[in-house]
Amino acid sequence: MRRICTQADLTLQDTIEITQNLRAAHSLCEEGTFDCLREDHLKLPLSNEQEVTALTSISEVQNANRLAGGQSLVFANSGITLIYGYNGSGKTGYARIIKQVCRTRDEQRGVLANVFVDATFPPASASISYKTDEEEFSTVWIDGLEAPKALNRISVFDSSTAPLYADKQNRIEFLPAGLDVLPRLGKLCESLSEDLEEEIAELEKFVTGPLPKVRSKKFLTQLEDLQCTSTGPLPSASSLEAEFCWTALDDPLLLELENKIQALSAPDKVLAQIARFKATFEILKSKVENLLLLLSREGVEAFSQLIEEARETRKAAEIASEGRFSEDPLKDAPLSEWMEKSLSKCRVV
């Protein structure tokens, strides 16, 4: 809240520090150094709203940028004072002095001296004249020291300290100080929430499964402390390491666990072997069933019928072939004589 109320914009370093403090609030890291919001940060106006304070002049400026000494910037008692000047004439220098003296939301940087001169200068100073109602006052402002509280009634706006907004008539106006605190706070919370959700999503990639069931009382106690519903402080990383770091005493327990795992895997091996035996027996069963089908009554009858049909076919072939070779000159010749004649014909050819 201090940064939102006193700065026009939040820097990357501001976001880093805010995130660190947010983590520290949940005991996720060490708490960083930060400055809480105080009344002097807000520069609230005085409670008596009937009094009106107005600047009347700034004079006797010393060591403020390159502003020339011995001159005065006078403001009108009523209405608007318009100040015109070329670039480098000192308009911004006077504006910086006014932002230090009056009420503004800025980072309150100190007013530098002439940066073009290589020398050490005392803090910037100026004579500030103002009036409350009709009473005249004058004070010497020195950079780094608190100005009179009556000047907190005067608010300073420029493009770096007052955000712009468009009203219903689409006119660009300056948003009064304080009215944008909650919108900016909400926007910051949304941005931090998105960053944390992205980080959580990355961490969830490494924690994809549930935690194993462990009966250790020490583990269960630490696990309860890590729950979001726990009201106590989160255990530190050093305490977790001291409780659960690996030692030589854990080696026998690991060996015992490995043996148990191997024993648990033995039934799987036996089951795979039985499955192979079953497949072999299924093949033998199929072959035996085929043999039994052939040796059954129906199979024997079918096989006998095939034999009978083969015999009848052979007998019919013999009958058909009788008489076809009755006039063959070689039918009565001995086999050896017939072979010799056939060979002699082959030689002639």
Higher-confidence residue of 346 and 127: namely 127
**Is the CA virtual torsion 225, 228, 230, 232 positive or negative?**
positive
pLDDT of 182 reads: 81
Predicted confidence (pLDDT) at residue 308 exceeds the cutoff of 80: yes
Strands (DSSP E) along the chain, which ranges?
Answer: 53-62, 73-74, 125-132, 135-142, 164-166, 172-174
Question: How far does Cα 105 stand from its chain's mean position?
Answer: 34
Rounded Cα–Cα distance for residues 259 and 300 (Å): 60
Q: pLDDT tens digit string along 140-153?
A: 999 888 888 888 88
| Contact in structure between 138 and 61 (CB atoms under 8 Å) | no
Q: How many residues does the chain have?
A: 349
| Contact in structure between 106 and 6 (CB atoms under 8 Å) | yes
Q: Which residues of 13-22 are buried (b: 16+ CB within 10 A; e: fewer)?
A: eeeebbbbee
Predicted confidence (pLDDT) at residue 44 exceeds the cutoff of 60: no
| Contact in structure between 34 and 186 (CB atoms under 8 Å) | no
The structural domains of the chain, with segments of one domain joined by +, span 2-39+180-204, 50-162
Predicted confidence (pLDDT) at residue 45 exceeds the cutoff of 60: no
